[in-house]
Amino acid sequence: MGVVAIYELPVPIWISTDVLGKRLQSGFGPLVFDVLMPRQAGAVGAPPVLEGVEAPTRRADSDELLIWTQRFAAFTPGADGESTALFRIVVQTHDRGEPGNQLDILARMIDPWFDAVRTWVEAVTQQDLDPNHRVYDATVVGGNLTVLEPALTGDSPIGLILTTPRITPVAGGAWRGILARVAAGDEPPLEEQLSRDARAAFASLAAGGRESTVSIELGAGPGLVDAGVPTGYQFNFEPRDAPALEKAGRYLASLAPAERVTAYGWLSVVARPQRGRPGVVRMKVLAGSSARTLQVRLSDADFEIAAEAIARELVFRVSGRQEKDGNRYWLYDAHDVRSVDVARASSPPPDALPM
């Protein structure tokens, strides 16, 4: 049977109701599991039907119903009666190996899995699903007033103005495709991820002040971008843009500093190079970096070396600037790229690799 567990999504995802009650295959890294979608029933949905396991409908410590699906205040143009917010799913691992080992792997993989899923959903639908940087469309009424009479109790604001969000749900076919792509290790195109991050930083802004101008310079290593592609852009922002810029600044300030590393590991392909866009490989690190996996952007020439290492099952060596972005480590400015002839039958100890 494998491991069966309820997973509460860190942020609800709006989906089409035609995938409710379905069993869909997904996974992350070495783990393969089925996603059992809840059933449509009442105001909060119902757990999926599980053979040999009874899923609870209420919290263990109270009579409060578990929310599986729920429609909250939102505009979903064209899908008002055919979509809902997904709060919980059931995951069932494929029966491979000891249940204890599967549970350990599932516990480590499930949050990175959600991060990969929500990245795809954001790219496809523009939903805001980042659990670490939520943006709420709410404005405090009378926030600068200190009321002397009548006396008020508590620290709650006098009132709130709530803006109902406009949401595009994930269509049924797209949801199936996203779960399959995440299992295969695929990522959305780089330009879609950049577009998503720009929307998150610049979309919901409001503050007093003057209009300002922000310039963005795009760094490009040799062979990564065509000569005719501009590397600098200028954007004008109004006073209402300030909160998002402040949010982006706090996020960037929280990032771990970059470090120079020379990493060794096995490779798999994430995205092949295309015109004006580098290739991306994922490295399972054996030595040289504290990260377990690294995403590495490579020029056309370096990608050919990486492809040969994958085909011949050779260890790959690369130097560059390692940075952490969310749950992922990236290696930028890749150089000194080469393959190392080490048998893949077993993972070689670090001292067996030429440094």
* Per-domain boundaries in the chain: 4-125, 189-254, 259-352
Instruction: Let me know if 20 is exposed, middle or buried by CB neighbors in 10 A (0-12, 13-18, 19+).
Output: buried
- CA–CA separation, 326 and 353 (whole Å): 29
Between 305 and 165, name the one with better pLDDT.
305
pLDDT of 225 above 50: no
Residue 133: what pLDDT?
61
Structure confidence by residue, pLDDT tens digits, 22-76? 999 999 988 899 999 999 888 899 999 888 788 888 887 777 888 999 887 665 6
Closest to 87 measured CA to CA, from 47, 137, 54: 47
Tokens of 323: 């940075």
Q: Which two tokens stand for residue 53?
A: 């396991």
How far apart, in Å, are the Cα atoms of 80 and each of 17, 45, 67, 77, 118?
Answer: 10, 16, 19, 6, 21
- Given a contact cutoff of 8 angstroms between Cβ atoms, the answer to whether 107 and 22 are in contact is no
Cα–Cα distances (Å) from 117 to 13, 32, 109, 323, in that order, read: 10, 15, 12, 22
Q: Mean per-residue pLDDT for 12-18?
A: 92
Given a cut of 90, whether residue 262 has pLDDT beyond it is yes
pLDDT confidence of residue 266: 92
pLDDT band at 125 (very low <50, low <70, confident <90, very high): confident
Average confidence score pLDDT of the chain: 77
User: Residue 337 has which token pair?
Assistant: 């790229």
pLDDT of residue 241: 64
How far apart CA 134 and CA 323 sit, in angstroms, is 23
pLDDT digits (tens, 9 = 90+) for 184-198: 888 887 766 766 666
Rounded to an integer, what distance in angstroms lies between the CA atom of residue 108 and that of residue 222? 37
Looking at per-residue pLDDT, the higher value among 170 and 219 belongs to 170
Whether residue 200 has pLDDT greater than 80: no
DSSP 102: H
In this prediction, residue 180 carries a pLDDT of 92
Between residues 131 and 182, the one the model is more confident about = 182
Q: Is the pLDDT assigned to residue 99 strictly greater than 70? A: no
Strands 83-93 and 279-287: unpaired
Task: Tell whether domain 259-352 is in CATH 3.30.420.
Answer: no
Rounded to two decimals, the pTM is 0.54
Do residues 26 and 114 touch, judged by C-beta distance below 8 A? no
User: Per-residue pLDDT tens for 271-288?
Assistant: 888 776 788 899 999 999
Q: What mean pLDDT comes out for the span 347-353?
A: 49
